[in-house]
Amino acid sequence: MKQMLKKIGYMAVTVDSAEEAEYILRGEESFLMIITDLKMPWLDGLSFCKKAKIIDPNLKIFALSGFLYDFEMNELEDAGFDGIYEKPINKAQLVEMLNVGIEKSKT
């Protein structure tokens, strides 16, 4: 994913856990959007999304998972995700996700 983002002209910061992502979000650096998995150790993507939206309500957060059917769609929407995508994702879908995130950040 990081390489694909780099190839289309975006810089990505990657982390190994939701806790690390939360720590970075509380720092001085600002981010336009986050792409997160739903199934992670210690903290799932739904809980992470809710926490991240508290830290920065304007942050655009997209769920990307190979296990979408393990979740109810209304549960994902209620968590605050700006978009929900199923793995694997191709370059065209990634560009679409980025465009949606950029458009939503303008409103």
CA angle 59–65–70, rounded 5-degree value? 115
Phi first, then psi, for residue 7 (nearest 5°) are: -65, -30
- For domain 2-106, the CATH superfamily is Response regulator (3.40.50.2300)
pLDDT in tens, 19-44: 999 999 999 888 989 999 998 878 88
Q: Please compute, for residue 15, the number of CA atoms within 13 A of its CA located in the half-sphere on the CB side.
A: 15
Look at residues 4, 7, 9, 71 and name the one whose alpha carbon lies nearest to residue 35.
4
Global confidence as pTM: 0.88
| pLDDT beyond 80 at 104 | no
Give the domain ranges of the chain. 2-106
Give the pair of three-digit tokens for residue 44. Answer: 């799932």
- The type of residue at 102 is I
Q: What is the mean pLDDT of residues 42-47?
A: 88
